[in-house]
Amino acid sequence: MSKGLLIVLSGPSGVGKGTVCSALRKRLTGLVYSVSATTRSPRAGEQHGVNYFFKSRDEFLTMIENDQLLEYAQYVDNYYGTPRDFVEQTIEAGNDIILEIEVQGALKVKETFPDGVFIFLTPPSIDELRERIVGRGTETASVIDNRLSVAEDEIALMRHYDYSVVNDEVDLACMRIESIIVAEHCRIVK
């Protein structure tokens, strides 16, 4: 049995990672989603174990100490991380798994899994990114400014990825990512 692909989807906050990942999983029913752990508070409608594993700061720090995370990062005063065991077991079983994570975490995963497929999701423009973040209605003006500043730094790191996909329309972004996955499965390993 061949191993599955580790697909890492990341990009700046507000670019639509969650929306694209959700739509992609509906289109590719065999694609396994890796649920991340976080110390941030749940947003309206988010569920523990479905959207994230919501952890206290102390619980998260214990996971770090016990090497239970494939990667973790601190982003805008909260921790985010990927539980290691589930990802490794999924790949070994021959299933593709997608990680929807922040840029810092993606670069850490690349150190551990350089053969992963790293996709950077970009907004059509910075102005469009601002509109999306403001449109959420969940952040203060200072948090929005901070997220946009961080986004500019993250976009500069796109060169470390294998692919760049513009999220101008969700369906188009999904089709582009599906094409990448098909191509990666057809790759001749040398």
Q: Mean per-residue pLDDT for 4-19?
A: 92
| pLDDT, tens digit (0-9, with 9 covering 90-100), for 85-105 | 889 999 999 999 999 988 988
* Sheet containing strand 32-34, strands side by side: 32-34, 97-100, 6-10, 117-122, 163-166
User: Average model confidence (pLDDT) for the chain?
Assistant: 90
pLDDT exceeds 70 at position 1 = no
- Dihedral angle, C-alpha 100, 106, 109, 110, nearest 10 °: 130
Residue 130 is part of which domain span? 6-186
Based on the structure, what is the number of domains in the chain?
Answer: 1
CATH number at residue 56: 3.40.50.300
Q: Is 1 inside a domain boundary? A: no
Q: Is 22 inside a domain boundary? A: yes
What pLDDT is recorded for position 2?
85
pTM: 0.82
Q: Is 178 inside a domain boundary? A: yes
Q: Is 43 inside a domain boundary? A: yes
Rounded Cα distance, 182 and 180, in Å: 6
